[in-house]
Amino acid sequence: MAEQELHELQPGQIVPDFTLPSSTGGNISLSDYRGQAVVLYFYPKDQTPACTQEACDFRDRAAYYARHGAVLLGISGDPLKAHSRFAAKHELPFPLLSDEDHEVCRLFGVWQLKKMYGREYEGIVRSTFLIDREGRLVREWRKVKVKNHAEEVLEAAKQLAEAGH
């Protein structure tokens, strides 16, 4: 995997490929979806309130994303067993990828120092990336607030589809 981090990439550049284990079984690579737009969303932890809301917001719009040629993939550092329970409990129709060593999170620049209640720790900063059919970065959302986010990303995916990318 390339050592370059995504935040060094500019829109229009190819996103480096990666492969991670999936809640749906086996491994998934970004390149598996060449020919389709990909919405790649990073979230801190399964079964937490904001992460559950975000996953359910994407779930509730999954058919609309598919209609516009976009695939949804969620990534966190949780193990596959936690992903499988989370996906089953909330009936998520898209794969959750496990990045336990945080390699892909670092690639995308979302594994960062965070602060909560005066304590510092490393963790995932909620972020979403829209990648076109050729594997190019189209758009990124960093430090995401969950409210209305899935709808905003869907609008961007619609625009991408309408533009023929």
Active site residues: 51
DSSP the chain: -----GGGS-TTSBPPP-EEEBTTSSEEEGGGGTTSEEEEEE-S-TTSHHHHHHHHHHHHTHHHHHHTTEEEEEEESS-HHHHHHHHHHTT--S-EEE-TT-HHHHHTT-EEEEEETTEEEEEEPPEEEEE-TTSBEEEEEES--STTHHHHHHHHHHHHHHTT-
